[in-house]
Amino acid sequence: MTGLRAAGPTVSRGYVAAAAVALVALVALSGCDGGPTVPSGAAASASSTGTTGSVPTRTAPFTPPTTIGSTPSTTSAATAAPSPTPIVPTFVWEVRTATAADLGSSWHRGCPIGPESLRVVAVSYWTFEGRVETGELVLNAAIAERAQRAFARLFELRFPIRRIRNVAEYASDDSASMAADNTSGFNCRLIGNGSRSWSNHAYGRAIDVNPVENPDVLRGTALPPAGAPYLHRADRPGLLVSGGPALAAFTAAGFSWGGRWSSPDYQHVEIPR
Ligand SMILES: [Zn+2]
């Protein structure tokens, strides 16, 4: 939820093996996340162009190594069976430069960065119902590749996410977005608690993950209120917990976690400037 405060799964084995291949392809494509002098890979070039045009980048097409109902074939190659049905969904991470229209009420003049510094990302994720869906995440271009690594790992883990939508769909109301258990990034707003400082969300450098399962704790109270049952931080689906693989996906990519703050914000991960 907030930005600046004092710093404080179930896995399918067969899937992981195949997904690891996908991740390798993905990492190979995106290159390192490093300095501006190493714009390797399509994602890097997309995030560094600064154009307002659509510059989609897509992870490499992935050909699954296994097929459903693999009957040992004794027929000749001339049989030419139809293409096998993929059983491993592809992780999608498509990046384009944001426009003011994309950002709607989440951005206005006077915000600390402009739309040209932000990226709109189409990202695939697993739902709590076990489906793969595509969400929309708005992030600072400077952290897009690191976020890609984190979300690719979450996908590999089948870490469940309720939804990922542009916060503008909730009138940029953080309380409404949290109540909807919406995972989101950019929102040009101040830190809570009456502060006059910009949240790291206002820079697109923070992401709130499953806010109900990972509530922000203010004076012992969960925000959103529906997050109250999750103040007890047992490792359950959709939770970021210390030592858990989902949190590790973020920390390995360079994010720090609000769950370590003295007043914990379990949903919040960030890469400050
Ligand atoms: Zn946050």
What is the DSSP code string of 46-84? HHHH--SS-----PPP---S--TT-PPP-S-GGG-PPPP
74 in a structural domain: no
Which stretch of 29-38, 74-83, 228-237 has the lowest confidence by average pLDDT?
Answer: 29-38
| SS percent in the chain: helix, strand, coil, step 5 | 30, 15, 50
Query: Cα of 16 to ligand 1 centre, how many Å?
Result: 29
Compute, in angstroms, the gap from residue 201 CA to the centroid of ligand 1.
Answer: 6
Chain centre to alpha carbon of residue 54:
20
Say how far apart CA 181 and CA 25 lie, in whole Å: 31
At 166-211, the pLDDT tens digits run: 999 999 999 999 999 999 999 999 987 778 899 999 999 999 999 9
Distance between start and end Cα atoms, the chain: 17
* Residue 17 Cα to ligand 1 middle (Å): 33
Answer for the pair 94, 58: CB distance below 8 angstroms, yes or no. Answer: yes
pLDDT band at 70 (very low <50, low <70, confident <90, very high): very low
pLDDT in tens, 75-107: 444 455 677 776 789 999 999 999 999 999 999
Beta-ladder partners of 94: 122
> Beta strand 256-257 with 182-183: parallel, antiparallel or unpaired?
unpaired
Q: Which helix (H) or strand (E) holds 94?
A: strand 93-97
Q: What is the mean pLDDT of the chain?
A: 80
In a domain, 49, yes or no: yes
If you average pLDDT over residues 133-159, what whole number do you get? 98
CA 250/CA 230 separation, integer angstroms: 20
Percent of the chain with pLDDT over 70: 69
Neighbouring residues of the ion ligand 1, judged by CB less than 5 Å: 1, 206, 208, 268
| Helices and strands per DSSP (H, E), number in the chain | 6, 10
Q: What is the pLDDT of residue 194?
A: 78
Into how many domains does the chain fold?
A: 1
Q: What is the pLDDT of residue 39?
A: 36
Which value, in Å, is the radius of gyration of the alpha carbons in the chain?
20
How far apart are the CA of 1 and the centre of ligand 1, in A? 3
Distance CA 244, CA 239 (A): 9
Whether 75 is covered by a domain: the verdict is: no
Residue 125 maps to a domain: yes
Measured in Å, residue 183 CA sits from the centre of ligand 1 at 10
Is 76 a member of any domain?
no
For residue 3, tell me if it sits in a domain. no
- 25-39, 155-169, 193-207: which has the highest mean pLDDT? 155-169
Determine the distance separating the centroid of ligand 1 and the alpha carbon of 187, expressed in angstroms: 9
- CA–chain centroid gap for 19, Å, is 17
187: its two tokens: 């929102």
> Cα separation of 186 and 1, whole Å?
11
What's the CA-to-centroid distance between 3 and ligand 1, angstroms? 6
Q: Is residue 6 part of a domain?
A: no
Q: What is the pLDDT of residue 2?
A: 60
What spacing in Å lies between the alpha carbon of 206 and ligand 1's midpoint? 6
Q: Find the domain containing 258 and state its range.
A: 13-61+88-270
Instruction: Quote the ligand 1 centre to 41 CA distance (angstroms).
Output: 29
CA of 192 to the centre of ligand 1 (A): 10
Which pLDDT belongs to residue 55?
A: 44
Task: For residue 246, report the distance from its CA to the centre of ligand 1, in Å.
Answer: 16
- Predicted TM-score of the model (pTM): 0.72
pLDDT at 65 over 70: no
Residue 83 lies in a domain: no
Structure tokens at 237: 């689906």
Tell me what pLDDT residue 192 has: 76
* Overall average pLDDT of the 102-126 stretch: 97
H helices present in the chain, as ranges? 13-30, 41-49, 100-103, 144-157, 174-179, 245-252
